[in-house]
Amino acid sequence: MWDFFQTVRHRHSIRRYQTDMPVEPEKLHAILETAVTAPSAGDLQSYRIICVKQPALREELAQAAYGQQFIAEAPVCLVFCSDPERAATAYGDRGRTLFSIQDATIVAAYAQLAVVAAGLGSTWVGRFDELAVAQRLGLEGALRPLALLCIGYPAELPESSHRRRLDEVVTYR
């Protein structure tokens, strides 16, 4: 069992998946239960998570993401959507334009780490046509898809990617 710091360091974007190995429902449930422990503005959880398993729909998501085919290969795709109107009920415009986006992003980040802890891999996908994704998923109201998280058993072991030095990204005052 990895500790938290090892888990974080073992997360790499996975773009090749074992297509014959589905994600066990209990693992998926544990990932989602862990993700929703994330903090949210006013504890409102101003997001919706769409869990896509249907192969035809995953293929459509891959097309909406400009042909990023690994989205169709991974057995599960979680679509994290902000719910601006829910956040607006408590926080007005700041909730609508900022908190709902932060809520949905934080819950997705928690999910991505829970995926590693569950022995699976993922890639966060942000390059997609929002309107096409919203239409294909039949998203109601103002729900805005912000991130796709493809999940499955890895069929590759990527090298660690480069990071900027801490003194380039951290300022002490």
Ligand X SMILES: Cc1cc2nc3c(=O)[nH]c(=O)nc-3n(C[C@H](O)[C@H](O)[C@H](O)COP(=O)(O)O)c2cc1C
- Contact residues for ligand X, defined by CB under 6 A: 12-13, 15, 68, 123-127, 158, 161
Smallest gap from Cβ 14 to ligand X, in A, equals: 8
Nearer to ligand X, 88 or 137 (CB): 137
Structure tokens at 71: 């989205």
* CA 119 to the chain's CA centroid: 16
Dihedrals phi, psi of 22, to nearest 5 degrees: -70, 160
Residue nearest ligand X, CB atom distance: 126
Nearer to ligand X, 50 or 88 (CB): 50
Q: Which is nearer to ligand X, 50 or 108 (CB)?
A: 108
Nearest approach, Cβ of 145 to ligand X (angstroms)? 12
Per-residue DSSP letter, 38? S
Question: What minimum distance in Å lies between the beta carbon of 80 and ligand X?
Answer: 11
Closest separation in Å from C-beta 125 to ligand X:
4
- Residue 122 CA to residue 12 CA, distance in Å, equals 8
Give whichever of 31 and 101 is closer to ligand X, judged by the CB atom: 101
Phi, psi of 60 (to 5 degrees): -65, -35
**At which residue do the structure tokens 């919203």 appear?**
134
Q: Please give the structure tokens belonging to residue 23.
A: 């994600």
Residue closer to ligand X by CB (options 65, 139) is 65
DSSP for residue 30: H
Instruction: In angstroms, give the least distance from the CB of 169 to ligand X.
Output: 14
Question: Which stretches of 14-171 are assigned E, i.e. beta strand?
Answer: 47-52, 76-82, 121-125, 144-152
